[in-house]
Structure 1
Amino acid sequence: MARLNATWWQRKKYLLHAIVLALPVWFIYQSLNPQFPALWQEQQAGEFKIAPMPLNEDAPYSHHNEYVKDFFIAFNQGDISNIRQAYLNIGEAPLPLTEFAKDEEGLMHGTAHGQHAHAIAPKAISADDKLWVTIQTWQGQLHTLQWDIPNQFISQ
């Protein structure tokens, strides 16, 4: 039997369905057009010229019971196959290689076009902290680079 008087819900439910169908379009657009902070200043370490870039401006997050911040590392010069191991950490000093050997956090991984790392970080980044990159080559050479942390990443 047909209703003669349509209720509010009967008149508006199709609008709700249209909104639900349109939302994936917005999320697909956002995922295909990500916004990243700018690359930091490029520095030279031995044969390598590298520039780090944080993947977002958020504070470090807990990952496997350790606080980390995600970084992309652009290798603008040098052969990545000459690297035995490379690590990132945020703090007042670079961590020793024995500290990195305990877990996979901080380890650079990726392709010749760029590396990714979950840089070991304190829960709140202070003005005294720096980003440290430690690179060990197959010949046993150890290179350490540092970058000052920009103000937008420092916790107040």
Structure 2
Amino acid sequence: MARSNTFWQRHKYKLNGLVLVLPFWFLYQSLTPEFPPAWPAQQVGDFEIAPMPLNLKPPYAHHDEYVKDFMLMFSKGDIGAIRQGYLNIGPQALPLAQLQQGEEGILHGSRHGQHVHAIAPKTLTAADKVWLTLQTWQGDTLTTSWELPAELLPQH
């Protein structure tokens, strides 16, 4: 019995090649991420901190709250002196008592950088700022803010 020389029979090896090549493409993409530039560093207490959004996309829903991902880089100060830290986006800093009620907005990471899912409104506006609230082990509460750059605001 002779084999039929169908389109599938002639080209199925190309699908096998694609299956073998795609993991390398995704590996390359995951090992070479591109981030927006970091924002100017600010001095807050003993710390000098520069935030960097991980992308320019709008906030997304995460556990029934809207959040935006940031990386905070500490160029001065000992991160071990921070008892707790939170990041939120809005017209004002949220009170520490309110921030402690949930699990979003908490800084976590290492001395090389702190990651945070910043609490955010569904849509960012020009009146919003990025607010950082830190509490030290001595009980001092430190707060600072950054203006939102135009590239994060929705284009009308």
Residue range with higher mean Cα deviation, 139-148 or 43-52: 139-148
How do 1:6-155 residues align onto structure 2 when only pairs under 5 Å count?
6-155=5-154
**Distance of 1:37 and 1:60 partners within structure 2:** 15
Name the amino acid aligned to 1:56: N
TM-score (norm 1): 0.96
**CA RMSD in angstroms, aligned pairs only:** 1.0
**Distance of 1:2 and 1:33 partners within structure 2:** 50
* Aligned position for 2:2: 2
1:87-132 superposed Cα distances (whole Å, 9 cap, x missing partner): 0000000000011111111010111111111100000111110000
SS in 1 for 2:104: coil
Unaligned runs of 5+ in 2: none
Consecutive aligned runs of 4 or more in structure 1 exceeding 2 Å deviation: none
SS in 1 for 2:98: helix
1:57-110 superposed Cα distances (whole Å, 9 cap, x missing partner): 111111110000011000100011111111000000000001111111101011
Q: CA deviation at 1:149?
A: 0.6
**Distance of 1:85 and 1:39 partners within structure 2:** 22
Q: CA deviation at 1:27?
A: 0.4
**Distance of 1:138 and 1:15 partners within structure 2:** 61
Q: CA deviation at 1:2?
A: 3.0
Name the amino acid aligned to 1:105: E
TM-score (norm 2): 0.96
Q: CA deviation at 1:38?
A: 0.8
**Distance of 2:74 and 2:68 partners within structure 1:** 19
**Distance of 1:110 and 1:16 partners within structure 2:** 41
